[in-house]
Amino acid sequence: MIEPGSGFDHQEGIFMNVTEALNSRYSTRAFKPDPVDKETILNILEAATRAPSWGNTQPWEIFVAGGEVLDRLRKAYIENFRKCVPGKPDLPASQQWPPALQKRMEEFVGKRFNSLGIKRDDKVARQAILEVNYRFFDAPVVIYLCMDRTLTNWPLFDIGMLAQSIMLAARQYGLGSIPAYMLAIYPDVIRAELEIPDDLSIIIGVALGYSDTEHPQNKLKASRRPIREVARFKGF
Ligand SMILES: Cc1cc2nc3c(=O)[nH]c(=O)nc-3n(C[C@H](O)[C@H](O)[C@H](O)COP(=O)(O)O)c2cc1C
């Protein structure tokens, strides 16, 4: 663990304040093949598990896939994708969104395809972009976040905070990441390969690695709603 003032080795990481880490994080959808060493991942996880949790219950169980294990997972995912095997995630996706959120999602997807030069009706190109999810964005590492099957809302909130903490801690090492529902859509495949017990739900995968910053997939910075519209102040 990196202690404050411990003379952190610059070759192993980048000094970065929290705002810089927040602003420089984005969902990486194209990774370089360069590996990430186990010590770095352990440092990131050790820092990230300082995340708060309900009553310090620390509901998370973490499974990290790399090397040949991840290659096998990736192969199985691509096979499933090509055979159109429907996903059956432990935590299903919401089917309906309030209209304002649905609109934002559609706008984001539209901008993404635009930035990649893909036309709305180009099904082949759209499928190719979708397949990138099943290739785990070519990441060298995927971190799966799990929790006991009986748990619901609040522990899920804790898992969310852990996920963001991992992604921010990763920035200090110059690493990119993406939290992706798609990485967890075939839980049976993941469970078998990573020996995840049946009593754990696989919530989400966070792909980790060095971003290919020149890749078109990484060029679009997702916008945000203006903070003065999002935040309402009273008594100031
Ligand atoms: C819970 C969750 C699931 C996500 N799943 C996917 C996914 O399956 N595939 C994908 O390309 N991006 C996925 N994303 C990334 C979002 O699209 C992304 O966070 C959002 O567009 C904002 O962009 P940014 O992360 O680059 O700031 C997911 C994000 C979250 C928080």
Evaluate whether residue 119 is within a structural domain. Answer: no
Distances (CA, A) of 50 to 85, 100, 165: 38, 34, 8
pLDDT 10s digits, 128-153: 999 999 999 999 999 999 999 999 99
Residue 3 confidence (pLDDT) = 45
Evaluate whether residue 59 is within a structural domain. Answer: yes
- Centre of ligand 1 from the C-alpha of residue 207, in Å: 11
Q: What CATH number did the domain enclosing 36 receive?
A: 3.40.109.10
pTM: 0.94
Residue 8 has pLDDT above 90, yes or no: no
Residue 161 confidence (pLDDT) = 98
Residue 12 confidence (pLDDT) = 53
* Ligand 1 atom at minimum distance from 26 CA: 26
Evaluate whether residue 208 is within a structural domain. Answer: yes
The tally of domains found in the chain comes to 1
- Centre of ligand 1 from the C-alpha of residue 28, in Å: 9
Mean pLDDT for the chain overall: 94
* Ligand 1 atom at minimum distance from 183 CA: 8
| Structure confidence at residue 173 as a pLDDT band (50, 70, 90) | very high
**Residue 56 φ/ψ region, left for φ over 0, alpha for ψ in the -120 to 50 degree band, beta for the rest:** left
Q: What does the pLDDT average to over 87-100?
A: 97
Evaluate whether residue 149 is within a structural domain. Answer: yes
**Cβ 188 vs Cβ 45: under 8 Å:** no
Evaluate whether residue 1 is within a structural domain. Answer: no
Q: What does the pLDDT average to over 164-186?
A: 98
**Token code pair at residue 60:** 């998370």
Pocket test for ligand 1, best of 25, 27, 142, 221 (most atoms within 8 A of CB): 27
Range of the domain at 162: 18-93+135-222
Q: What does the pLDDT average to over 27-48?
A: 98
Evaluate whether residue 12 is within a structural domain. Answer: no
* Ligand 1 atom at minimum distance from 108 CA: 21
What are the beta bridge partners of residue 176? 209
